[in-house]
Structure 1
Amino acid sequence: MTQTQARTAVVFPGMGRFDFAGAGRFLVLDPYARARLASADEVLGFSVLERFHDEGADYSEYAQLAFLVSSLAAADRAEDRWGMRPDVCAGVSFGQKAAAAYTGALDFPDVVRMTAELARCEKEFFATEHTDVVTHAVYRVPDEEFRALLETMRARGEWFEVSGELDRGFFMVSLPEPRLDAFVRAVRDLGGYSMYTMRPPVHAAAFGALRRRAEAEVFARYRIGAPRLPVVSDADGSVVETAEAMRTMLLDTFDRAIRWPDMVASMVELGVGTLCVTGADDMFHRLNCTVRNFDVLAVNPKNALRPKPPAVRVRAAA
C-alpha cells in the first residue's frame, strides 16, 4: 500500500477500558461531545455524563453510552475541523453501533436507545448464563505454538473459543475463569504476554442464545436501513451495503469472532489509503497490520482538544 491512494475509511474502534478519568475532560469541554450528549440526554431522560461520572464502571450501560457519544463526537470533530470525508466505514465490535449511526443505518436517537437496551440485555443474560466465562487478550504469541496450545486444550476436553484475531500473534480467547491462570502461564511459557480480561465475555458461538434474545427483545423494535457508505464487517471483512446485511452484521457481534486482519485486507482491496480512527482507542490504530497498510489519523479523547490536527499519524510502509 502506498500513500498515493486517495480513499479514506473512518473506523470506530472496539471498546476497551473506558472511564471518566480518561474521557471526562473531552466530554465536558468538547462542543461536539456536548451536542451529542444533549441529544442522548433528551432521548434517555437522564444525564449520561452524570451517570458515567457516578456509576460508569468498565462496560457498564453508562460507560457504553459515553463511549458511543465520544466516538461520534470525535468523528464530528474530524469532519468539521480537519476535513475528514470518508468513502468507507468500519466498526469493530462495539464500534459497530457508532458505525450504524454514522452511516445513517439507524438515526442517533435510536442507536442511543438500542445501546442502553442491549447493555441491560447483556447484563441480565450473563447474570445467569456463562457466569464463569471471561474473554482474555494475549499478544506476541508465536502463531504455530499458540495454535498447538489450543489444540492441546481441545484434546483435554477444555472448552474455549477464539473470540478475536487482531494481528499476527494477537488473539482474544473466551474460556472459563477457573482455567484463566493456567492459560496465562501457558501463554507466558510460549513467550507471549497477557493484555486484559473482559467481563462479561464477548464474540463466541456459545452466546447464540444472547443473540436470539437481543434480536427478539431489542432489535425487533428498530428499523435498520441500508448504510449510506460501504461498511466493512468485523466478522469476515465482507462489504455491507444493504439493510439486511447491516442487521445481520450487528447481530453477528454476539456470536462471531472479530477478525481485524480480514477487515484490513478488505479495506486495502477497496483502495483505502488512510484510516481515521475516531474514538477512544489504544490498540487498533497501532497494530502492525494497520500501520503497514495505511496512513493513520487517530482522533480520541486524549488528543482531540489540541489546537492542531490531533493525529497520532503513522506513515504506512511503502
Structure 2
Amino acid sequence: MTRAFTFPGQGSQAVGMGKELAEAFAPAREVFEEVNDALGQNLTKLMWEGPEDELTLTENAQPALMAVSVAAMKTLEAEGGFALADKASFVAGHSLGEYSALAAAGAFTIADTARLLKLRGQAMQRAVPVGEGAMAAMLGLDFDVAKEVAEEAAQGEVCQAANDNAPGQVVISGAKAAVERAAEIAKTKGAKRAMLLPVSAPFHCALMQPAADEMKAALAEVAMQAPAVPLVANVTASRVADAETIRNLLVEQVTGMVRWRESVLYMVEQGVTQLVEVGVGKVLTGMAKRIAKEAETAAVGTPADVETFLKTL
C-alpha cells in the first residue's frame, strides 16, 4: 500500500478538539505545550473550553488546527514505532493544512509553525476590512463553469475561484458584491446551491496580497529544512521537496487557488492507494471519496482512531 498523509484546513475546528489525544498520549501533550509556549498563549484552554467564537477567529483557529494535526501525527509515530517517511510517499494539506503537513514532515519546527500561522491568521484578517470581502460555495458546478461564473460576476472587482475542492464543489472568493452576484449567476448555470460561507475574510484571492507580503517577510526569517517526504503543493498540485521552492509557494498560496481536487488526483496517479487525514474532522476524507473513489481513506484525530489505524499497518 502506498500512502499519503493529508491535513485539514480552516472550518474543521470545534471546541474540545485535541482534548482526548492530550489526555491519552504524552507525545500529543508535548505538542500542545510547545504550541502554547511558542505563542505565549493558553491556546489549549481555548481549544478545549471555548468560547467557540474566539476559537473560530482565524488567528486562533489556524494554529489550533495545526496543533491537533501534528499532535495526532506525533502520536501515531510514537505509538506505532515509525517515522512518517517510513509510511508515506507524500504529505499534503488544505490551505493552512499545508503548514501542518510541513511541520509533521519536519520542514518547520512546531514552534515556528505555530507563530507563522498566528501571523498568517492576523495578516489575512488585516488584509481586507470586515464586510468588504466574501466567499461562496458553488455546489453542483464543474470547475470550468464555476470559474466562468466568477469571471462574469467580477465586473471590475476581484472575484475568482479560491478552492477547487472536489467534483461539483468549488469555492469562489473576492469582493462581497461580486461574490453575491456570482451566487445568483451560478443558479442560472445549473448550480444545485450557491451559498455564502461564514468566513471573516476572502481567502485565496488577489485581495489577500497584503497578507502575502507579510508572509513573505515572515517566511524569509524562518529556518526551513527539506520535508521528510515530498509535499504536494496547493498552488501547483504536484510534488515539491526543495525548501526554498516550498517557501515561495507558501507565499503564492495566500492569493492563489487551493487545487485540492487536482492534488488528490496527482497523488493517486503517482501510485497512492490510501489517503489518511490527520487532525480534526473528516472533511478531506469526504472530498477524497468524491475525487478518487478507488483510493482507501482513513481519518485519525482521536485515541480510538489512532488505535484503529495502527492495527492496519
* TM tier, smaller: 0.7 to 0.9
1:240-260 Cα deviation digits (max 9, x unpaired): 111111111221221110111
Which residue does 1:274 correspond to in 2?
274
1:178-235 Cα deviation digits (max 9, x unpaired): 455444344345242246342222111342232112212x223212221121111111
Would you say how many aligned residue pairs link Structure 1 and Structure 2? 300
SS at match of 1:141: coil
Verify the 8 A CA contact 2:139 2:192 in the aligned structure 1. Answer: yes
Which residue does 2:97 correspond to in 1?
95
Q: State the distance in 2 between where 1:117 and 1:64 align.
A: 10
**Kindly tell me: are residues 252 and 143 of structure 1, through their superposed partners in 2, closer, same or farther at Cα, counting changes over 3 Å?**
closer
SS at match of 2:69: helix
**Kindly tell me: are residues 171 and 44 of structure 1, through their superposed partners in 2, closer, same or farther at Cα, counting changes over 3 Å?**
same
Which residue does 2:169 correspond to in 1?
170
**Kindly tell me: are residues 307 and 42 of structure 1, through their superposed partners in 2, closer, same or farther at Cα, counting changes over 3 Å?**
closer
Say whether 1:58 aligns with 2:56.
yes
Equivalent residue runs for 1:138-153 within 5 Å: 138-141=138-141, 146-153=146-153
Equivalent residue runs for 1:75-224 within 5 Å: 75-81=73-79, 85-127=87-129, 132-141=132-141, 146-154=146-154, 156-157=155-156, 159-189=158-188, 190-194=190-194, 196-216=197-217, 218-224=218-224
Say whether 1:9 aligns with 2:21.
no
Verify the 8 A CA contact 2:127 2:209 in the aligned structure 1. Answer: no
Letter in 2 for 1:255: T
Which residue does 1:316 correspond to in 2?
none
Say whether 1:43 aligns with 2:45.
no
Which residue does 2:253 correspond to in 1?
253
Letter in 1 for 2:104: Y
Say whether 1:29 aligns with 2:27.
no
**Kindly tell me: are residues 263 and 48 of structure 1, through their superposed partners in 2, closer, same or farther at Cα, counting changes over 3 Å?**
same
Q: State the distance in 2 between where 1:60 and 1:210 align.
A: 13
What displacement does 1:145 show?
5.2
What displacement does 1:131 show?
5.3
Q: State the distance in 2 between where 1:70 and 1:267 align.
A: 24
Q: Please report the TM-score for the alignment, with normalisation by the length of structure 1.
A: 0.82
SS at match of 2:141: coil
**Kindly tell me: are residues 191 and 212 of structure 1, through their superposed partners in 2, closer, same or farther at Cα, counting changes over 3 Å?**
closer
Letter in 1 for 2:214: R
Q: State the distance in 2 between where 1:176 and 1:96 align.
A: 25
SS at match of 2:112: helix
1:135-183 Cα deviation digits (max 9, x unpaired): 22222225565455345324x4453111111122211101322455444
**Kindly tell me: are residues 208 and 49 of structure 1, through their superposed partners in 2, closer, same or farther at Cα, counting changes over 3 Å?**
same
Verify the 8 A CA contact 1:17 1:59 in the aligned structure 2. Answer: no
Letter in 1 for 2:9: G
Greater shift after overlay, 132-141 or 45-54? 45-54
Percent identity reads: 21
Q: Which runs of 5+ in 1 are unaligned?
A: 1-5, 314-318
Letter in 2 for 1:87: S
Verify the 8 A CA contact 1:89 1:231 in the aligned structure 2. Answer: yes
Verify the 8 A CA contact 1:137 1:197 in the aligned structure 2. Answer: no
**Kindly tell me: are residues 286 and 164 of structure 1, through their superposed partners in 2, closer, same or farther at Cα, counting changes over 3 Å?**
same
Q: State the distance in 2 between where 1:101 and 1:142 align.
A: 33
Q: State the distance in 1 between where 2:21 and 2:11 align.
A: 17
Verify the 8 A CA contact 1:27 1:49 in the aligned structure 2. Answer: no
Letter in 1 for 2:164: E
**Structure showing greater relative contact order (alpha-carbon pairs closer than 8 Å, 6 or more residues apart):** 1
**Kindly tell me: are residues 26 and 249 of structure 1, through their superposed partners in 2, closer, same or farther at Cα, counting changes over 3 Å?**
farther
Q: Please report the TM-score for the alignment, with normalisation by the length of structure 2.
A: 0.84
Verify the 8 A CA contact 1:105 1:227 in the aligned structure 2. Answer: yes
1:97-116 Cα deviation digits (max 9, x unpaired): 11111111111121122222
Q: State the distance in 2 between where 1:135 and 1:241 align.
A: 31
